[in-house]
């Protein structure tokens, strides 16, 4: 080892279990004796995998997921392009893999990993992952619908009204039925009583819901709702199960799937107990195309994401955001990511150059590399790395050449995927959709119920209470009837029943 590679590698020597990331590169050559690693116990300090298209982000995710599975840690990853299905198939040896393994000192052997395939909705090539509308909640749904803050607040009041009225919101038609009822002649008094919800705003929300339904998103909402505890499973031989959410079929609605991933994370936050610092995480969550999650997001949504990421660490969950530029993430989130794997960036435009300079400023200072130059010179499968050491300090910046994943670096055959789906214990539990009695049916019954017939000959005799003078309004009555107090009760009731995202807590 050279003096530089030896000094950098010393910063990656840990006493506990660590995952391999590759070999240190200096002066254009990889030093196989200078290894870059990431402590397993620090994976819940979250991370970032970034880089331009085609630089190797997906392969890095695959490499880390394989090793997590070997250590008995469950993995959840979104598979936008279908490439991650290769985890279920052993890799194919070739000259390029042999050469890369020799360069980085990796004893490569082909291997497959226990993999479950999920889809959003009823696609036949995966286990359906559904959420009920009431569980998804108004904040996340507002992000999917592209509502402004006023419309988001109004939608929250409608969810609250349905909760109080005992109307389960299980799928899109339930919420559409609630809004249709509230804007009808029969329901307008209820809408007015909500306060702050105009008929025009309700109409906008309804139109957006219809558009979402026309795009086929109705299959994503309903029952049986997915239990996120099923993501944290191990096999009989102790390997962590890798759950791949196949998203190739819904690429035309990127905001929907990115927000759906946030629902999974929010639900995990609600149900998992605090465990503090552990030897290894329970689950590592890879959120691909992360920039879609934050585009045009409301302040409430951004605050909820930042708070979830900050607090879920103590519940044994690590979150890795996968995106093109670190600047895609809000500062409140970026500042919480202790592990950084930055693949190559391109500086073809003034905006690209500005993003490059900002990226450099987020790294620890180093005399070993000119980071602005290095980030544009990285080859495919190379990255600038710094991680959180076991003592909680950032490791030295390391230009790293990564080894090849041991599973297939291409999609698995359809037969392999179909076999994994049909043989899964979860398939029987979630495959068949259930449509039980809910808001749609109950409101239809209310609207269609015959009005009570009153006998005109019967006349009610006024009572003594009817003839009494109205009591003088007390201060307490004034407070209880005030709009401010009713608004407080609405907020308090929502806070008791819903989490920071407005998602419904499981009971």
**What phi and psi, each to the nearest 5 degrees, are found at residue 49?**
-120, 110
Same domain, 355 and 402: yes
Complete DSSP assignment for 15-41: SS-EEEEEEEEETTEEEEEEEEEEEGG
Whether residue 506 lies inside any domain: the answer is no
Is 245:119 a contact under the CB 8 Å cutoff? Answer: yes
Same domain, 380 and 346: yes
Whether the pLDDT of residue 173 is over 70: the answer is: yes
User: Could you tell me whether strands 317-323 and 127-129 are parallel, antiparallel, or unpaired per DSSP bridges?
Assistant: unpaired
pLDDT at residue 486, rounded to an integer: 39
**What phi and psi, each to the nearest 5 degrees, are found at residue 338?**
-80, -15
Whether the pLDDT of residue 92 is over 90: the answer is: yes
Q: What pTM, to 2 d.p., does this model score?
A: 0.84
Distances (CA, A) of 61 to 44, 171, 207, 320, 413: 15, 33, 39, 9, 20
- Per-residue pLDDT, averaged over 296-315, amounts to 84
Give the residue with greater pLDDT, 161 vs 456: 161
Same domain, 8 and 70: yes
pLDDT-derived band at 478 (thresholds 50, 70, 90) equals very low
pLDDT at residue 473, rounded to an integer: 45
Same domain, 75 and 161: no
* 92-114 burial: b if 16+ Cβ within 10 Å, else e: eeeeebeebbebbbbebeeebbb
Give the pLDDT confidence of 152-169 residue by residue, as tens digits: 999 999 999 999 999 999
- Measured over the CA atoms of residue 156, residue 162, residue 166 and residue 172, the dihedral's sign is negative
Distances (CA, A) of 339 to 255, 362, 395, 398: 26, 12, 9, 12
Give the residue with greater pLDDT, 192 vs 18: 18
Whether residue 473 lies inside any domain: the answer is no
pLDDT-derived band at 458 (thresholds 50, 70, 90) equals very low
pLDDT at residue 467, rounded to an integer: 39
Same domain, 227 and 79: yes
Please, which residues bridge with residue 341 across strands? 49, 385
Whether residue 246 lies inside any domain: the answer is yes
Same domain, 36 and 140: no
Whether residue 465 lies inside any domain: the answer is no
Whether the pLDDT of residue 6 is over 50: the answer is: yes
- Per-residue pLDDT, averaged over 491-503, amounts to 47
Task: Give the number of other CB atoms < 10 A from CB of residue 482.
Answer: 11
3-class secondary structure, 418 = helix
Same domain, 207 and 246: no
pLDDT at residue 189, rounded to an integer: 87
3-class secondary structure, 197 = coil
pLDDT-derived band at 101 (thresholds 50, 70, 90) equals very high
Triad 220, 253, 257: Cα angle to 5°: 55
pLDDT at residue 501, rounded to an integer: 65
pLDDT at residue 213, rounded to an integer: 83
**Can you give the residue range of the structural domain that contains 370?**
3-130+223-430
Tally of domains within the chain: 2
Give the residue with greater pLDDT, 11 vs 247: 11
Whether the pLDDT of residue 66 is over 80: the answer is: yes
Same domain, 283 and 358: yes
Whether residue 467 lies inside any domain: the answer is no
Whether residue 63 lies inside any domain: the answer is yes
Q: Is 261 exposed, middle or buried (0-12, 13-18, 19+ CB in 10 A)?
A: buried
Task: Give the number of other CB atoms < 10 A from CB of residue 503.
Answer: 24
Whether residue 234 lies inside any domain: the answer is yes
pLDDT-derived band at 481 (thresholds 50, 70, 90) equals very low
Give the residue with greater pLDDT, 499 vs 113: 113
- Measured over the CA atoms of residue 216, residue 217, residue 221 and residue 225, the dihedral's sign is positive
Same domain, 174 and 230: no
pLDDT at residue 413, rounded to an integer: 94
Is 59:349 a contact under the CB 8 Å cutoff? Answer: no
Average pLDDT across the chain, whole number: 86
Same domain, 173 and 188: yes
Whether the pLDDT of residue 493 is over 60: the answer is: no
pLDDT at residue 499, rounded to an integer: 57
Same domain, 493 and 382: no
Same domain, 240 and 211: no
- Per-residue pLDDT, averaged over 9-19, amounts to 96
Give the pLDDT confidence of 268-283 residue by residue, as tens digits: 888 899 998 889 999 9
- The CATH number given to whatever domain includes residue 337 is 3.40.50.300
Cα diameter, the chain: 105
- Per-residue pLDDT, averaged over 137-153, amounts to 89
Whether residue 474 lies inside any domain: the answer is no
Give the pLDDT confidence of 189-246 residue by residue, as tens digits: 888 887 768 888 999 999 999 888 887 778 889 999 999 999 999 999 999 999 999 8
């Amino acid at each position: 080892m050279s003096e530089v590679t030896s000094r950098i590698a010393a910063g990656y020597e840990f006493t506990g279990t660590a995952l391999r990331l590759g070999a240190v590169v200096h002066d254009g050559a990889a030093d196989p004796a200078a290894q870059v690693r990431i402590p397993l116990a620090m994976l819940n300090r979250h991370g970032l995998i970034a880089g331009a298209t085609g630089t190797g982000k997906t392969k890095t995710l695959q490499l880390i997921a394989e090793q997590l599975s070997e250590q008995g840690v469950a993995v959840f990853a979104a598979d936008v392009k279908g490439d991650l299905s290769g985890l279920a198939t052993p890799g194919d040896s070739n000259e390029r893999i042999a050469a890369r393994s020799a360069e980085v000192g990796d004893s490569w052997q082909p291997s497959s990993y226990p993999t479950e395939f999920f889809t959003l909705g009823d696609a036949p090539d995966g286990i359906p992952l559904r959420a009920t509308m009431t569980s998804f909640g108004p904040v996340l749904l507002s992000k999917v619908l592209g509502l402004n803050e006023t419309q988001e607040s109004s939608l929250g009041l409608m969810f609250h009204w349905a909760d109080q009225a005992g109307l389960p919101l299980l799928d899109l038609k339930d919420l559409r039925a609630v809004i249709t009822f509230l804007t009808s002649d029969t329901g307008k008094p209820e809408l007015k009583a909500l306060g702050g919800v105009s008929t025009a705003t309700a109409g906008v929300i309804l139109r957006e819901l219809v558009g979402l339904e026309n795009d086929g998103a109705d299959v994503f909402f309903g029952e049986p709702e997915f239990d996120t505890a099923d993501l944290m499973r191990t096999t009989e031989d102790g390997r962590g199960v890798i759950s791949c959410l196949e998203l190739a079929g819904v690429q035309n609605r990127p905001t929907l799937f990115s927000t759906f991933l946030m629902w999974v994370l929010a639900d995990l936050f609600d149900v998992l107990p605090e465990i503090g610092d552990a030897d290894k995480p329970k689950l590592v969550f890879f959120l691909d195309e992360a920039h879609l999650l934050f585009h045009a997001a409301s302040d409430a949504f951004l605050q909820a994401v930042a708070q979830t990421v900050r607090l879920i660490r103590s519940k044994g969950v690590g979150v890795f955001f996968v995106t093109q530029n670190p600047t895609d993430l809000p500062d409140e989130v970026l500042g919480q990511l202790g592990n950084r794997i930055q693949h190559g960036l391109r500086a073809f435009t003034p905006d690209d150059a500005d993003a490059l300079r900002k990226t450099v400023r987020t790294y620890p200072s180093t005399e070993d590399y000119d980071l602005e130059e290095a980030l544009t010179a990285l080859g495919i499968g190379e990255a600038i790395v710094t991680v959180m050491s076991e003592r909680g300090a950032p490791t030295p910046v390391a230009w790293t050449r990564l080894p090849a994943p041991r599973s297939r670096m291409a999609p698995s055959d359809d037969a392999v995927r179909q076999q994994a789906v049909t043989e899964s214990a979860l398939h029987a539990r979630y495959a068949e959709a259930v449509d039980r009695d809910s808001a749609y049916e109950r409101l239809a019954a209310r609207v269609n119920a015959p009005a009570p017939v009153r006998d005109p000959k019967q006349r009610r005799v006024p009572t003594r209470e009817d003839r009494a003078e109205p009591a003088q309004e007390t201060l307490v009555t004034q407070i209880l009837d005030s709009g401010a107090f009713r608004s407080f009760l609405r907020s308090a009731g929502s806070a008791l029943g819903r989490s920071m995202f407005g998602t419904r807590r499981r009971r």
